[in-house]
Amino acid sequence: MEYNFVVIEGNIGAGKTSLAKNIAKDFNAKFIPEDFAENPFLPKFYKNPEKYSFPLELSFLADRYQQLNNEIRDRDLFKSFIVSDYYFTKSLIFAQNTLSDDEFQLYRRIFNIIYSSLPKPDLYVYLYLDVNNLKKNINRRGRLYEKDIKSEYLDNIQKGYFEYMRLHDNEIKFLVIDTNKIDFVRNQADYERIKGIIFEKKYEIGINRVIM
């Protein structure tokens, strides 16, 4: 395996967790899933977003850093590589759409201090779906806390990811895969195709694009 650390990222409903799980199973890789179910600020945030957005985003920041730092540095000799369904920069992208301007500037300062100490992925895969298809996937999986997500919010998150990639395209290998015409979650042939695109081709540092 050419890669030691692969990130599968995407917007809400893009299928990143499903893809990362299947890759981990097929390649005997160590899977790092995002763990947010136990966040104590989440129910408070849903009731009062204005009051709890900053502590919520800080708690996500701390949790993601601790999990990634521990899991990436604690290598399993019996696993071929590490695959995660999120990366630390997710915190910054989502916080930008949640926090006020002054809160976000403080948050960014804290983020930058922590980010510099984390290992960078060998390959950062971004699963691109347009907002209509994201909404279909979100409705299909039926999570109650996602039912009121607005199209505008999803569009802003998408723009945040692209802005992050544009600003860091001299540091990381980004692979943006347009998956609007495939269903790798329910169609095995589509899954094999996307797996081949990720692991059977070589990519340069910067933004690499594939339309499926």
Q: Which of these is catalytic: 26, 63, 74, 85?
A: 85
For the chain, what is the mean pLDDT?
91
pLDDT at 172 over 70: yes
pLDDT at 145: 67
Q: Could you report the per-residue pLDDT of 15-31, keeping only the tens digit for each?
A: 999 999 999 999 999 99
Here the tokens at position 28 are 């005997």
Contact criterion met (CB below 8 Å) for 88 and 58: no
Single out the residue of 96, 97, 157 nearest to residue 127, CA to CA. 157
pLDDT score of 1 more than 80: no
Active-site residue flag, 85: yes
- Listed by start position, the domains of the chain span 5-182+189-211
User: Between 55 and 148, where is the model more confident?
Assistant: 55
pLDDT at 85 over 70: yes
- The pLDDT score that the predictor gives to residue 37 is 61
Q: Does residue 101 register a pLDDT over 90? A: yes
> Would you state the torsion angle of the CA atoms of residues 40, 36, 59, 95, taken in this order, to the nearest 10 degrees?
-120
**Does the pLDDT value for residue 195 go beyond 90?**
yes
pLDDT at 39: 78
Determine whether domain 5-182+189-211 maps to CATH 3.40.50.2000.
no
Measured in residues, the chain has a length of 212
From the CA atom positions of the chain, what is the Rg in Å? 17
Residue 187 pLDDT more than 90? yes
Q: Whose CA is closest to 40, among 17, 67, 62, 65?
A: 62
What integer pLDDT is reported at residue 49 of this predicted model? 82
Among 22, 23, 95, which residue's Cα sits nearest to residue 62? 95
Distance CA 151, CA 41 (A): 24
Looking at residues 47-56, what average pLDDT do you find? 88
How confident is the model over 114-137, as pLDDT tens digits?
988 888 999 999 999 999 999 999
